[in-house]
Structure 1
């Protein structure tokens, strides 16, 4: 769909140009209405609920309603998602329905969830780290929220026939319907030719709340493009693809029950931000977000419940070639009904070996992991094959709840049935503030391939297993290895493995900043720059940033949308227990094409 003459397309023309068919539905709820520029400001205690178009399956296991304090109760539609687990005796997939509901709010909202099964014996709301304790009265669970949350409400221990609730913030980016740069889908069920929507450069695809698009959305060889809204991509072959592209923003979309394929593929692309994406899959190769041969990627605030890896970070595969670096995943929830919540390193290019480096996972809740195959287990798996080298990985502030079947850590230089050669190694991994509470974890693995392809320089700091901090200084029989207390198997090709308590000094020298001293951005487009440094830094800073950019002091990520073109001199810093390193970073913000 293009506008070759640059004359601008109205909403109606855009839908016709896409070949879309739609039935319009009104929004429902307190202060609900069309998205206009004059209602974008945040106000206290506001609730917006969206309809579900005819033809999109709903689920009757729960009824949900919400209200602002002292407001009228509003019914919240409940969608039908599908999950899959693997029968460990036959290898067959077991499909089950699950419930999904969503609304937007500011301020405070009260929620009531009623079970169709009748009286409730017990209920819990996860992630448990949120500390939400619901009230239970008969067949109803009640609770309130004062900030956006992605939740699993589980009645009487049921994790399949449960309710996932996405309580989103009120949208901050809502384009006008007649903006010539916007491909606008209003509430209703939409289709496009061949079930694939190709997005041109400079365009924004907007799926309004209540819009369901039965298609895959592709950004291919484009730049400065976006997919925004509160709508749903449903029942297509895959969800979203960003390939050979740059300056791509994806925000607020749900990918529900794709027939096959990944919810989001990022291949050989740069400057990609994926925010507040919700994904449910039960098809073959039902990964969540897979990153191949890409740089400067931010994934944040996502909820992934998938029938394969939730987050996968690789180098070469298919038509994608090159290193992968500077990938940050933060403030997210992962639920792997099959395979790994996180997997890194498997695919690469043995003919021209590649590097996967500067990878950060921060503030992550892992709700589940179920994988019968021992060599495909691991809530956090670094399985480097195909001559890949993984280096400079930070995993920090992670809570892992008691999962069904698998390992906490699986870190191996290996070659499996997908590889034509083993990996080259894994080096410089810092795992800090990882907490696991549970009883079903199998023994973790850290395994080098041989003396020339080892695992080196791995530090665990404040690793807590059921409340016990695993440290080389902990009380244990003197002939026990520290890794026995996890438990974890470590082979002879692992060098410089350390377990430290929270107070121990992790570094012996001050950091050195290794990220480049120059970065190019585009005005009014997403930008990500990760401050990378040696010697286990624990905090970062940046001064002199262009308007629209901020620094995450926990991860070192500079991100946002720069507003004003120009050249800016920024001082970046990385700090560890020994000292602070600084470096000058020149950020050039160009005009959009």
Structure 2
């Protein structure tokens, strides 16, 4: 039988009803609060002197959670309430402005002197921010409803901690261990300093309105996580406050299932690796009404199985978060990945979430472009599907959304593997509202043609009052391994990045830009008429000219020298890729057909300007892949004409139109620990020797290193840096496809304290292309402003651009800042 832990200190709770009168003496609705005084024996370090808090006139204990990433104390407090209650907060220091978040609470706030007062009509989590400084002193206040299900402290299946301070740390101290069918109850007014564990157990419960506090790092066999459930089936975590003031995870479940977390409050300000709640290789996990503040990921859903191959690892599925507030001082507020050793990640749902704050990294601000408020990041190739983010409000964040596949994380601290199958698909962002002054970037970056991101819906994305209308919105940053993007705005038609004739087939002209037309004698195009008989065909002016769809396939038939044309009109500008296969449907007769693709009045396929003939019996047909730019209103026409006659001329052709995205290559954003990552290479060049690859040095500097003592390329503060040393330092990029690129950047001396300056240039293959006069550009030793370049080039696939820095007489102080950006 488990030994019952008796109360070490009894402290009476104070129940304070209060009648509130308006200025004219009219009685308003009243409520009551229950507050719990600070334990008498609590060390002073855990008490907050920064804020004085009252609810219905009764003082609420304020605690010091520890210092945040910038050395400022984070405070928190809690009380229980019924009805409508008045809350007052007095910061015990000077301030100018204040903000209560989330704004979705709709609180009416007044200020008198230093005191801020508001009314709560229902239990809520409220955060006070002063002078708009999210990195400053902050108060988190948790107002709960009454706890009506208090277990008996005499129950042998309950570990009970009553009001008071209980220190379970010290040399050799173990966590509180929960076996099957056991309950840990931390009563209101209780502070338990220690850790909690459950291993290979079922039906365990952790609850109560008290505080689990951990500020020690014992590094023992049980690990340093404050609250951890490993391989647990059926568990409940409810109401507790977990204050983790260590650079370790706050709470986690691993290999567990059917865990319900309700009204959990996690406060973890210490930088870093203090994730708020990690869900590792688990399934059927549900969160409701919770609050998580961390100095790393607030929520992290990870694949951390012991297997090295994802297909053999535990899956992650059926994870849901509702009505939750999140705050992350580093990394992501919502993070799915980066560790992704899981057979699949499926059915993940976030709804009604307030993201109060999201910063990327204290030590490397703006250098980690994969950090965002809402993040999916894959290192290992696996299968992500059916992930929904709905009704999410972002108060302040560096970036908004990131969906990314990559080979390294945090300067090579974690490495991935893309040798297995994998994709990300069926991801929905619905009713996302950002009030943030950050970039609000929406980034999607697939890995290659075998590992793509597809079927992503953006439905009502509102950024500072403006709704995103289509995928050409400047907040989007997507690479060429992203497809089937759809953007919906209230009251408007969906903007789709992928249009397919059979999928979009309709009984009206113009659906998704498609029209069904006929060109009599190859002349002026006219609309066909819809024939609603059993054939459901679009019909031309002759007997057999028709366009129709059947079972996901698309068919065209010319007649009597009338070409039939499936025409698509672009609603928005961009580069589109036209793919498909044209083939004979019927191979039993006739003399074949001719096919072509036109943009406005010009044939663009075949490239020689001659129609492509499809033989009468060619059911394999001819494929096409054509890229072309379109302006809004441009027309793409897929045409079929008879050869000598129109007998047996039914032609199968289901063309697909895909918008190709901007394809932005940013040297600092794309830097990885592997040569060739996103097309970038890190090299040196020396006369008489030629080009040599640098080697990755994964020490704290995270540099690429050449053969000399100081030749290096590295990333810092949003810039790339190059330093030559008897060799030219050379950042190279290889074009993934043909096209026109814009090459933009600023090159300057990073170290202006000495030396004799550097020489810089840009080369295409073996020819200097900048400066245009073929002479290296000199950057003087003290030139911290430097020289800008901005020009366009025509490239073929595999062409190489080389950004070179060379010393002058010597390489002293030659660190050079240069972050080229290449955009198709």
Distance 1:504 1:14 in 2: 63
Q: CA RMSD in A?
A: 2.3
Structure 1 CA distance, aligned partners of 2:160 and 2:35? 19
Out of 274, 285, 297, the position equivalent to 1:286 is 274
Q: CA deviation at 1:190?
A: 1.4
- d(CA) in 2 for partners of 1:466 and 1:394? 22
Give TM-score, length-normalised by structure 2.
0.53
Contact kept? 2:305, 2:314, Cα under 8 Å: no
Residue in structure 2 matched with residue 497 of structure 1 by the alignment: 485
Contact 2:30 2:85 in 1 (8 A): no
Distance between the aligned counterparts of 2:146 and 2:451, measured in 1? 49
Structure 1 residues 74 and 319 mapped into 2: Cα distance closer, same or farther (>3 Å)?
farther
Residue in 1 that maps onto 2:53: 64
Task: Measure, in 1, the Cα distance between the counterparts of 2:377 and 2:246.
Answer: 27
TM-superposed CA distance for 1:443, in Å, is: 3.2
Q: Structure 1 residues 488, 83: CA separation in 2 closer, same or farther (over 3 Å shift)?
A: farther
Could you tell me which residue of structure 1 aligns to residue 32 of structure 2? 46
1:212 corresponds to 2:191: yes
The equivalent residue for 2:640 is none
The alpha-carbon distance between structure 1 residues 498 and 83, as it changes in their structure 2 partners (threshold 3 A), is farther
Relative contact order (alpha carbons < 8 A, sep ≥ 6): 1 or 2 greater?
1
Deviations 1:307-334 (A, max 9, x none): 1000011122469950000000110111
Q: Do the aligned residues in 1 keep the contact of 2:186 with 2:211 (CA within 8 Å)?
A: yes
State the match for 2:337 in structure 1.
Answer: 345
In 1, are the aligned partners of 2:68 and 2:74 still within 8 Å (CA)?
no
Consecutive unaligned residues in structure 2, runs of 5 or more = 18-28, 216-223, 497-502, 505-824
Within 5 Å, which residues of 2 pair with 1:165-204? 165-192=141-168, 194-204=173-183
Deviation at 1:283, TM superposition (A): 4.6
Q: Do the aligned partners of 1:238 and 1:258 also contact (CA within 8 Å) in 2?
A: no
Say whether residues 1:242 and 2:218 are aligned partners.
Answer: no
Change (3 A) 1:357 1:289: same
Task: Describe the shift of the 1:214–1:384 C-alpha distance in structure 2 as closer, same or farther (beyond 3 A).
Answer: same
SS of alignment partner, residue 449 of structure 2: coil
Rounded Cα–Cα distance in structure 2 between residues aligned with 1:179 and 1:127: 40
Following TM superposition, by how much is the alpha carbon of 1:504 offset from its aligned partner in structure 2, in angstroms?
Answer: 5.4
Which residue of 129, 152, 155 maps to 2:127? 152
Q: How many positions carry a matched residue from both structures? A: 455
2:465 — aligned with what? 467
> Structure 1 residue 503: deviation in Å?
4.0
Deviation at 1:158, TM superposition (A): 3.8
Question: 1:25 matched to which residue of 2?
Answer: 11
Structure 2 residue 346 is the aligned partner of structure 1 residue 357: yes
Question: Which of 58, 74, 85 does residue 109 from structure 1 map onto?
Answer: 85
The alpha carbon displacement at 1:368 in A equals: 0.9
Q: 2:294 aligns with which of 281, 306, 309?
A: 306
Deviation at 1:61, TM superposition (A): 1.4
Cross-structure match for 2:426: 428
In the aligned structure 1, how far is the partner of 2:479 from the partner of 2:74? 41
Structure-2 separation of matches of 1:410 and 1:271:
28
Tell me the SS of whatever aligns to 1:411: strand
The residue matched to 1:129 in structure 2 has which SS? helix
Structure 2 contact 346–384 (Cα < 8 Å) conserved: yes
C-alpha contact 2:207 2:237 (8 A) present in aligned 1: yes
Deviation at 1:83, TM superposition (A): 4.3
Which SS does the other structure have where 1:117 is aligned?
A: coil
C-alpha displacement of 1:444? 2.9
Partner of 2:401: 409
Over residues 489-539 of structure 1, what are the superposed CA-to-partner deviations in whole Å (9 max), with x where a residue is unaligned? 111100101111134577989xxxxxxxxxxxxxxxxxxxxxxxxxxxxxx
Answer with 1 or 2: which has the greater Rg. Answer: 2
The equivalent residue for 1:513 is none
Alpha carbons 2:226, 2:244 under 8 Å: kept: no
TM-fit CA distance, 1:227: 0.4
Match for residue 98 of structure 2 among 123, 131, 155: 123
**Partner Cα distance (2:453, 2:307) in 1:** 29
On the 8 A contact 2:4/2:154 being kept in 1, the answer is no
TM alignment of 1:247-266, pairs within 5 A: 247-266=234-253
Question: What CA distance in whole angstroms lies between the structure 1 residues aligned with 2:376 and 2:430?
Answer: 16
1:14 counterpart = 2:4 = yes
- Tell me if structure 1 keeps the 8 A contact 2:164–2:190: yes
